[in-house]
Structure 1
């Protein structure tokens, strides 16, 4: 089905003279009752990528806040979270369980690129919304016509790669670049975007190394990249791999200009584990405020978010991933508010194409605005550099 055909189908799902509530009941939207909306999520509560579970915990906490304030149009949100260990076959199994046994209305913030891709075919065959996938893989926009029920949320990894390439060309036009990327669609998208952005300067990439998310270490790859003579390192991987690569580079005396990915830029969970002095000077593209950055200590958005965390997610790390989970939860809530009483799965997807909002924890100047032609929610990025204490937004 072509993208235009799908949009037309969504727009045409109306039953004149029947209220949205009656329509939802008549069609029997799973997970929707007069008092509840049941939402599903797969995420790595265990395994090598378990640090990403912070996203889901923050989402659950925000839903608790919404429920405490009366829910959405009188309905409470129930989030069913299942552990997939960041294993694609397990994700498919747990996705089927959410739809067929748990009877959720839709999926929100399933974590991961390989896991999300593995389950995408099932969701689209079943016509169940797979919304705001925790991944910036380009496939969520490249293949929207083929998989219209699946939608990402954050900036694409290809755009992230192009942003880093632009900065490298502006500041280090003669750089020798080494790239360490996660060997999946996400890491490959970053590499593709970086190469596209470098253009004719792509020959300045002197070494490419990949790693699996399950690899015990990336030490050998770091040593190999140092031997290449590179003076710029672009690192894309999980928090664990990022910690290891930054620590190893410092320990062997390699001092390139280092770029790391936004998903692994948390000060408390990543940079502190490396050693703040060892991480000084690292650059990252970002779109969310880092709660560990003193720059935002008097920011009203951060203060409100911190108060929320203290009340509804007490004891959890106030890190970048928790901000991410909160922002996605807020986006889900906005979609459901716009649905009003028409909670058919078709209308839920339709409303993701009708968003126009600012979120308090997004960086200044960035906004969510979607349409039928541009369904992807977050597209903007800003560069920031770690000064040994906090992240500072860069003007270049």
Structure 2
């Protein structure tokens, strides 16, 4: 009887222990929610540096619109129930200041990602730092070719079309429209300017050496570009490739008009704002200027009945930003914020930096607000440049008029 009782007791222990042993063999269940620094159940913290002051302060409109957009998102319940804490600090378009403010955002504020920082030189200053820290540096508002290098810098992605690609598109048009033209070039003396000019000359090909008759550059600290415009006029050029930021773009157009220089002008998209460039230059001085575009122009009658344009205009009015409706920087801020919201939504409850980059490298959006017909946003792990084609438009009267189809630099 004792033996039977002992066997029964051992069997009972074995039966009790087996679930525990089985449980030990099972991998621990992972939490459904995964967070990196800057994300919680209630908040997503994103950072930005922006020239709220200094020579490129015209771009601060983008930050105003982005802030208003995220405020609206938060009022509507946030992203998957989380509020966006958007921290934008002034770097005055000064690379040393960008470094200081970016370190503050990453190391003190603890942001999950850096979003839509402006400027080629400022972003270069923190490029390696953010990649070494594995902090997403995404939707940055610059189109330098260096931003599309996922092999060496997998944490960086630009929102602008690449500058060299845009330069090639301008060159394709120049060759077709003015094959015997004499071209003058004004550009900013930095990586952005060099990218634009390199792409433009590559697009001209062998004919470029004969067609380009004069070149001049300027520094962002220069008070004006008046002397450069006089020099370029005296070259006898009848085609003008103008690469400038808004302040200097307006100065160049105005001075060319004052000295009665009337070339066919190709104006880069970063300086194509009606409110920020063409009106300050003078609408008369801006007639006939050609630029590239990826977004619809606000208050253009062609888009009066477009639902996305109606929504944008209503948003700008409700946000107290009505005076900036025609400013290209405003529409850029609006679209970039809309895309950032989508990226965060697609992350779901996996708000890690790695998952943000996974979403960034697999975009395929043709329905973003304000995109022009024929223009889409598409990325792959090997190509983080979101735009492969652009449209051309000419300034007539008080607005831009599209012409031709969407074109790429390749064909």
Structure 2 residue runs of 5 or longer lacking an equivalent are 1-26, 406-411
Whether the aligned pair in 1 keeps the contact of 2:113 and 2:135 (CA below 8 Å) is yes
Partner residue, 1:360: 369
Contact 2:50 2:117 in 1 (8 A): yes
> Within 5 Å, which residues of 2 pair with 1:177-326?
177-203=183-209, 204-318=211-325, 319-326=327-334
The reply to whether residue 148 of structure 1 matches residue 154 of structure 2 is: yes
Matched, 1:339 2:347: yes
Report the RMSD for the aligned CA atoms in angstroms.
1.4
What SS class does the counterpart of residue 395 from structure 1 fall into?
Answer: strand
- The runs of at least 4 consecutive aligned structure 1 residues that moved more than 4 Å come to none
Which residue in 1 is equivalent to 2:87?
80
Aligned counterparts of 1:371 and 1:261: Cα–Cα separation in 2? 26
Which residue in 2 is equivalent to 1:350? 358
The answer to whether the Cα contact below 8 Å between 1:268 and 1:292 also exists between their aligned partners in 2 is no
- Report the structure number with the largest CA radius of gyration: 2
Counterpart in 2 of 1:55?
62
Q: 2:379 is matched with which residue?
A: 370
Q: 1:98 and 2:105 equivalent?
A: yes
Q: Is the 8 A contact 1:182 1:210 kept in 2?
A: yes
**Residues 225-234 or 286-295, more deviating:** 286-295
Counterpart CA distance in 2 for 1:169 and 1:67 is 49
Which residue does the alignment assign to 1:10? none
Partner of 1:30: 37
Please name the residue that 1:8 is paired with.
Answer: none
Uncovered stretches (5+) of structure 1, i.e. residues with no partner:
1-14
Give, in angstroms, the shift of residue 315 of structure 1: 4.7
Alignment deviations for residues 273-298 of structure 1 (CA, whole Å, 9 cap, x no partner): 11111110000011111114333223
Cα deviation, 1:281-323, whole Å, max 9, x if unaligned, reads: 0000111111143332232211110111111343551121110
Provide the aligned length of Structure 1 versus Structure 2: 376
Kindly indicate whether the alpha-carbon contact (under 8 Å) linking 2:188 and 2:219 is maintained by their aligned counterparts in 1: yes
Change (3 A) 1:221 1:108: same
Shift of 1:376: 1.9
Q: 1:238-287 CA deviation, whole Å, 9 max, x = no partner?
A: 11101110011111011100011112111122111111111100000111
Distance 1:32 1:175, change over 3 A: same
Question: TM-score when scaled to structure 1?
Answer: 0.92
CA contact under 8 A between 1:64 and 1:312: conserved in structure 2? no
Segment of structure 1 superposing worse, 260-269 or 43-52 = 260-269
| Partners of 2:392 and 2:403 within 8 A in 1 | yes
